[in-house]
Amino acid sequence: MKSKLLLFTFLLLSAFSFAQDVQITGQVTEAATGMPIPGANVAVKNAATAVATDLDGNYSIKVPKGGTLVFSFIGFETVEKSVTDSGKVTVALKETSKTLDEVVVIGYGSQKKKEITGAVSTVSAETLDKLRPVKVEQALQGTISGVNVTTTSGAPGAGLTVRIRGIGTNGDASPIAIIDGYQGDLSLLNPADIETVTVLKDAQAAIYGTIGANGVILITTKKGRKNQKPKLSFNTYAGFQETSRKLPVLNATEYAALVNEAYANNGDAVPYPNVSGLGKGTNWQNEVFGKSVPLVNHDFNLSGGSEKITYTVSGSNLDQKGIVSPDKAIFRRNTARIGFTADITDNLKFNTNLIYTAFNRKTISENRNGVLFNALNVPSTFTPYDANGDYTQVPTTGYGVELVNPIAQSDNTFNNYNYRKLNGTFGLDYTIIPGLTATARFGFNSANDDGKTFNKMVNYGDSKVFNQSRSSVNQSRTNNYDYTSDFYITYQKTFAEAHNLTATVGTTAYKTWGNFLSATGYDIPNNSWEFADIRLANGLLNAKTTDSYAYDERRLSHFGRVQYDYKGRYLLSGMLRRDLSSRFGPNNRVGYFPSATAGWVVSNEQFYGNNSVMNFAKIRASYGTLGNDMIGNNQYLSVLGGEAVYVFNNQLTSGTATGVLANPNIKWEQAQKFDVGADLNFFNDKLTLVADYFIDTRKDLLIQSIPVSGILGVGAPGAQGPTANAGSVRNSGFELALGYKDKVGEDFSYNVNYNVTFLKNKVVAVNNSTGFIETGTFNNAETIARMQVGQPMGYFYGYQMDGIFQNQAEIDAAPSQSGLGATTTAPGDIRYKDVNGDGKIDAKDRTNLGDPIPSATMGFNLTLNYKGFDFSAYTFASIGNDMVRAYERNVPLGNRMNYWLDRWTGEGSTNSMPRVTTGATNNNLFSSFFVEDASYLRIQNVQLGYTLNNEWVKKVASKVRIYVGANNLFTFTKYRGFDPGASSGSPIGSGIDYGFYPVARTYMVGANLNF
């Protein structure tokens, strides 16, 4: 009876439970895009019932009334929903905030972020979407510690300079870009195609051996997703650009008064007896800077996949004009990309990614003697056109042979450059046995370009350097090719549920080759750009008018890496790479590059317990040797690069002679990188802290023109001393990156990030008999930038200003300055410091006046989200970098900046600005008077967006977001030039400002559409 009662009770409860099950249907989507998530897991909490969503993200499941559904998918936050009645439950999953589980590409493999033992930083596609950079490099500025990006020019299509943890070489200091596994060009990518950018800053990059010394930037492009219906996104923005700065030059009245004073101070007749009617005159900057210059960009991406394949197809179009002479400065870029993966069998997988890039660029002359240079230095008293409607000519007497009408210079500029490139990769992954995978990958770049420059027959005035007595056209064509072939095997195994091992061994072959040809023709028909073609140019010269080269360089490498961890607590990694490079002679073609990294995840120790404040703590260290072979080709050989003149049949004939002398013993530069760091997460990953201390010692720097005996032929025109491994540089510093993200209520969330890098650069050795290398000119005369032992790379070398002489008594009491050139010194002239204390001022008193390397860089970035609104702001600061003011032409009648209104006019008037005079003085020698602190804080990007309610747009799109934004909104600086963040890109002489083309301020409106 008792057993029957129990059975009856069980049946009754079962029937009751069955009767209380409710049917739930719905859809699982991505919160960010509104797109369905196929394969998402929908489970009943505390039960075995679970289903997966279909291709449309739909599901159907029975749930006990009052039960809870759990929605989850890899990479997204898990969501729980209580169920009371039958109906429809739609859930939007947000991407997970568990950043420790993110997978990061590290080269020939990947690791979870919590397992990484090197200094590695990433930029996500989300950040790229907010910044909307024209070039990818711009997105690295202020978002990654240890990375500094400077502009070589603000002209459309101009290159950028990327430096990772300082400047370690006097040669090419640029990092290598690896795109989906092959060596490529970062600057040509469409930012919308990129999923992640990963920067390897320490010995973690040793897996790339001889090309990793300057750091490695890994690019992963966007891929389709399996079991995903076709997903189309379209992004567009349009805006207008304007100059971010104009320099305050003297107007016509101010200029004439100052010039009169200068002539009078030298006892000469004044050139402007009546200045009252001159007014403000011409502001040449207003004449050359465009207004509301357009910028338009469109891009689309189509992706999807099935059970076995994924695909992505994308394209973009960018059309940008320059803010200086907009009709002459143009950049148009088009890109197309196809990505495809296929599971051929359960063990064999195929992948490919192909990118086509084509752009057209037109430019104007820049820097010294360029359009902006002339706009600053041509006086305001001139008008653009004379009474006949012709370009006004600037005389030579008093103005020099360089100053010309900038409008005429711009209008007479004709050039065109076309570039086409196809690059990509093909790969196979074969699982030999579980845990053992073989990868074969082939990446390639194929590029060709053609350029044309037309020099019109034109006369800018008597003896001007820009005058062309004959018209000419130069046409050139370049073909560049390279490929990277990789084969490697990866083995992953866990032993005894505690020991995790990953081993990778492989080989890679790299080859680059190409050729160049150019020719110049003279006497163009009709003196016109329309007829500028060599086949129509019939003029002849006695000198050679053609040029060409060809090259073929190769590298063969073998590498191995072992990664081990014990229960996720103790992390070890060791790497070794052997490189053979044809850029070096037989004696030094092979190099070995070892490295080791280690980490201790303290928070995984049993004694650590459950710490609610610091929930993750990892200490790590790395040390390794990397190489740099980015030098000129054939440095170990003597090549015919010099000039020679021979006599044949009593006639002089031009020929070619030996150029740079050979040094068969040169080898690659070596970087010894040491790093110790910590990764700490607080408050359930809301607050993250990453700190690193690093020392990067670069040895065996390749120094050019080592002095040798003249008997070897170095005195001939074009000849040069050999290159040798004769230098060393050390960079050391500290990096700190902080991030905090949280959610307030259901509708408001925020993300704040700050990073700072402190850097010290020091030259350790220059073994070339002088102890220094110098380059970079000032006023076309003095060489002012040096690489010298004990000093920062590229520091400025000149005289230290020590105030202004106020009277003759001060001059008589001071050390004589007659050895500097001008024999007399007068009150109002610059007083120079006697640095060596020998009682006289001469060349031995030159000293360190500053350097262009910032002592600290930092970024502060903020993102806010409230319901459908989102706001982001990105800022960057550079502190301690100096710049030379070299954009003023030293001629008697050239225009000046308005700070010359505060010149010395008598005793006590000023102690910082010298007098004006047309007489000979030492005031224009390079000194600290021309060096300025170029520290700055820049608001790089501000964007406000709104995502329309899904119910409003679901019939036409899954998501619609509109936004307004501004790039390069404002720069706070004391520097008086156009752009404190500009640089020539050269390790030595980068901070000499000849009138850098400023970066444009851009206002834009855009839309992101998902279908």
Name the residue with higher pLDDT: 412 or 714: 412
Predicted pLDDT at 1: 46
How would residue 826 be classed by pLDDT, with cut points 50, 70 and 90? very high
172-214: pLDDT as tens digits: 999 999 999 999 998 889 999 999 999 999 999 999 999 999 9
Using DSSP, state whether 147 is helix, strand or coil: strand
Q: Please say whether the beta carbons of 194 and 974 come within 8 A.
A: no
Sort 267 into a burial class: Cβ within 10 Å, 0-12 / 13-18 / 19+: exposed
The pLDDT of 446-456, averaged and rounded, is 97
Contact 708, 722 (CB under 8 A): yes
pLDDT at position 39 over 80: no
Give me the pLDDT at residue 225, please. Answer: 86
**Do the beta carbons of residue 174 and residue 630 sit within 8 Å?**
yes
Contact between 495 and 501 under an 8 Å Cβ cutoff? The reply is yes
889 pLDDT higher than 50? yes
The residue-averaged pLDDT of 573-579 equals: 96
End-to-end CA gap in the chain: 66
pLDDT digits (tens, 9 = 90+) for 587-609: 889 999 999 999 999 999 988 88
Which residues fall within 8 angstroms of residue 695, CB to CB, at 6 or more apart? 673, 674, 675, 730, 731, 732
Split at pLDDT 50, 70, 90, the class of 713 is low
Task: Read off the pLDDT of each residue in 57-81 and give the average, rounded to a whole number.
Answer: 84
Residue 16: pLDDT band (50, 70, 90) is very low
* pLDDT tens-digit series, residues 342-361: 999 999 999 999 999 999 99
pLDDT of 905 > 90? The answer is yes
Q: What gap in Å lies between CA 998 and CA 293, rounded to an integer?
A: 14
Count the residues in the chain.
Answer: 1011
Report yes or no: 189 and 133 within 8 Å, Cβ to Cβ.
no
Residue 30: per-residue pLDDT: 82
> Stretch 44-65: mean pLDDT, rounded?
83
Q: Across residues 771-776, what is the average pLDDT? A: 92
H or E element: which one contains 649? none
- The pLDDT mean for the chain works out to 91
Residue 855 has pLDDT above 70, yes or no: yes
Q: Determine which of 613-617, 702-706, 996-1000 has the lowest per-residue pLDDT on average.
A: 702-706
Least confident interval from 55-59, 714-718, 1000-1004 = 714-718
Whether 425 shows a pLDDT value over 70: the answer reads yes
pLDDT of residue 549: 87
**Longest Cα–Cα distance in the chain:** 135
Structure tokens at 261: 């004073």
Q: Is the pLDDT reported for residue 712 higher than 50?
A: yes
Distances (CA, A) of 755 to 177, 752, 826: 23, 10, 50
| Dihedral over Cα of 74, 77, 83, 85: its sign | negative
Q: Does residue 813 surpass a pLDDT of 90?
A: yes
Q: What is the pLDDT of residues 468-521, one digit of tens each?
A: 999 999 999 999 999 999 999 999 999 988 999 999 999 999 999 999 999 999
Lowest-pLDDT range, 116-130, 353-367, 890-904?
A: 116-130
Alpha carbons 232 and 956: distance in angstroms, whole number: 12
DSSP letter assigned to residue 34: -
Beta bridge partners of 875: 860, 939
Q: Give the pLDDT of residue 5.
A: 43
**Contact residues for 891 (Cβ-Cβ < 8 A; gap 6+):** 377, 398, 399, 400, 403
pTM score, whole prediction: 0.89
Confidence of residue 4 (pLDDT cuts 50, 70, 90): very low
Residue 77: pLDDT above 50? yes
Cα-Cα-Cα-Cα dihedral sign, residues 287, 289, 291, 294: positive
Q: pLDDT tier at 950 (50, 70, 90 boundaries)?
A: confident
| Higher-scoring residue by pLDDT: 833, 88 | 833
Token code pair at residue 720: 């040069």
At 219 the pLDDT is 94
Cα-to-chain-centroid distance, residue 187: 8
Give the single-character DSSP code of 872: E
Angstrom distance (rounded) from CA 362 to CA 342: 42
Residue 911 and residue 901: Cα distance in Å, rounded? 14
Residue among 1010, 997, 1006 at smallest CA distance from 373: 997
Which residues are CB-neighbours of 416 under 8 A, at least 6 positions away? 360, 361, 362, 451, 452
Is residue 303 predicted with pLDDT exceeding 50?
A: yes
Instruction: Tell me the β-bridge partners of 810.
Output: none
Tell me how far apart the alpha carbons of residues 276 and 258 are, in angstroms, rounded to a whole number.
13
Q: Average the pLDDT over 660-672 and give the result.
A: 88
The model's confidence at residue 715, banded by pLDDT at 50, 70 and 90, is low
Is a pLDDT exceeding 80 seen at residue 409? Answer: yes
Give the closest residue to 377 by CA, choosing from 883, 890, 998, 918.
890
User: Is it the case that residue 731 has pLDDT exceeding 80?
Assistant: yes
CA distance 940 to 142: 9
In the structure, what pLDDT confidence band is assigned to residue 958 with cuts at 50, 70 and 90? Answer: confident
The torsion angles phi and psi of 603, rounded to 5 degrees, stand at -70, -10
Q: Which residue has the tokens 């923005």?
A: 237
Residues 6+ apart with CB under 8 A from 167: 173, 729, 731, 761, 793, 794, 853, 987
Buried b (16+ CB within 10 A) or exposed e, 935-959: bbbbbbbbbebebeebeebeeebbb
Over residues 732-745, the mean pLDDT reads 95
Torsion of CA 52, 58, 64, 66, to 10 degrees: 120
Instruction: Provide CB contacts within 8 A for 396, sequence distance 6+.
Output: 461, 462, 463, 464
Q: Binning pLDDT at 50, 70 and 90, where does residue 720 land?
A: confident
Q: What percent of the chain has pLDDT over 70?
A: 95
